[in-house]
């Protein structure tokens, strides 16, 4: 038996945009006197734009200093810088092994889903030239809670018409692994430091169909 679907996170699994988020947030944060480093940025993986800003303001001790309208302006400014930087993405920016895996899943008739909380996800898939390799992309604009809440993964399952218990979810962030586990999917984590992943791999080039299939047989 095969999984009913394989559901992917975007940032850190399909392509690495974490450094682009970091550069944009660092610029906006620095303009209001908050310095963030890459270690702090890692804690924002899988966290929505609004919640990321709240955490940055909290980190800088400035949570009380900005109205909602000012926060919206900061988030919009960060997004403009980020979207500008997406111009550098091409098919070469797809992480190792991912294109081959998406093609193989398509050939095997196994549906693929995207569960990214990024409102820019459709643009990014388009820049990478892989929109057609996804059966369904959950709409981040329609979810109320970012990871570790399972909402975006459940939305992907719903759109694909599959049951979460019959799917594999792939993530690079702890919040994402927690979201996958919370909805009863089988989790694969990319990264040495992840906790509670059903299978932990060090790099996306280990994400082959034989690897996923063996994991699924063991998990069932």
Catalytic residue numbers read 9, 11
Q: If binding is defined by CB under 6 A, does position 15 make contact with ligand B16?
A: no
Binding test (CB under 6 A) with ligand B16, winner from 6, 11, 15, 160: 11
Q: If binding is defined by CB under 5 A, does position 172 make contact with Mg ion?
A: yes
Min separation Cβ 17 and ligand B16, Å: 7
Q: If binding is defined by CB under 5 A, does position 178 make contact with Mg ion?
A: no
Phi then psi for residue 200, to 5 deg, are: -115, 125
- CB under 5 to 8 A by kind: which of Mg ion, ligand B16, none does 187 bind? none
**Rounded CA gap, 202 and 79, in Å?**
30
Min separation Cβ 190 and Mg ion, Å: 9
Neighbours of 84 (CB within 10 A): 11
Cis peptide before 203 (omega within 30 of 0): no
Q: How far is CA 191 from CA 8, 22, 174, 219, in A?
A: 15, 18, 9, 20
Interactions with Mg ion, residue window 6-25 (CB under 5 A): 9, 11-12
Which structure tokens are listed for 145?
């809670």
Positive or negative, the CA dihedral 207, 148, 23, 69 is positive
Strands 112-114 vs 5-8: parallel, antiparallel or unpaired: parallel
CA of residue 172 relative to chain centroid, distance: 7
Q: If binding is defined by CB under 6 A, does position 26 make contact with ligand B16?
A: no
Q: If binding is defined by CB under 5 A, does position 173 make contact with Mg ion?
A: yes
Which structure tokens are listed for 10?
């975007």
Q: If binding is defined by CB under 6 A, does position 74 make contact with ligand B16?
A: no
- Quick one: 116 or 135, whose CB is closer to ligand B16? 116
Q: Which stretch binds ligand B16 (CB under 6 A): 66-74, 103-111, 115-123, 205-213?
A: 115-123
Which residues are near Mg ion by CB under 5 A? Answer: 9, 11-12, 172-173
Which residues are near ligand B16 by CB under 6 A? Answer: 9-12, 21, 44-49, 52, 79, 116-120, 173
């Amino acid at each position: 038996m095969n999984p009913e679907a394989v559901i992917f996170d975007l940032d850190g699994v399909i392509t690495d945009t974490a450094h682009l988020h970091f550069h944009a947030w660092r610029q906006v944060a620095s303009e209001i006197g908050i310095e963030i480093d890459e270690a702090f940025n890692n804690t924002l993986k899988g966290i929505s734009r609004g919640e990321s800003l709240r955490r940055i303001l909290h980190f800088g001790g400035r949570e009380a200093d900005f109205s909602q309208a000012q926060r919206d302006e900061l988030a919009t400014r960060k997004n403009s810088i980020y979207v500008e930087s997406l111009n550098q993405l091409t098919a070469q920016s797809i992480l190792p092994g991912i294109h081959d895996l998406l093609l193989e899943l398509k050939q095997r008739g196994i549906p693929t889903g995207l569960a990214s909380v990024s409102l820019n996800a459709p643009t990014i898939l388009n820049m990478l030239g892989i929109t057609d390799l996804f059966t369904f992309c959950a709409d981040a604009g329609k979810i109320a809670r970012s990871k570790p809440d399972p909402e975006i993964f459940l939305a992907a399952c719903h759109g694909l018409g599959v049951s979460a218990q019959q799917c594999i979810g792939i993530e690079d962030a702890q919040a994402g692994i927690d979201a996958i586990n919370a909805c009863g999917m089988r989790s694969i984590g990319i990264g040495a430091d992840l906790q509670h992943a059903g299978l932990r791999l060090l790099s996306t080039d280990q994400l082959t169909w034989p690897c996923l299939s063996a994991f699924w047989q063991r998990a069932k």
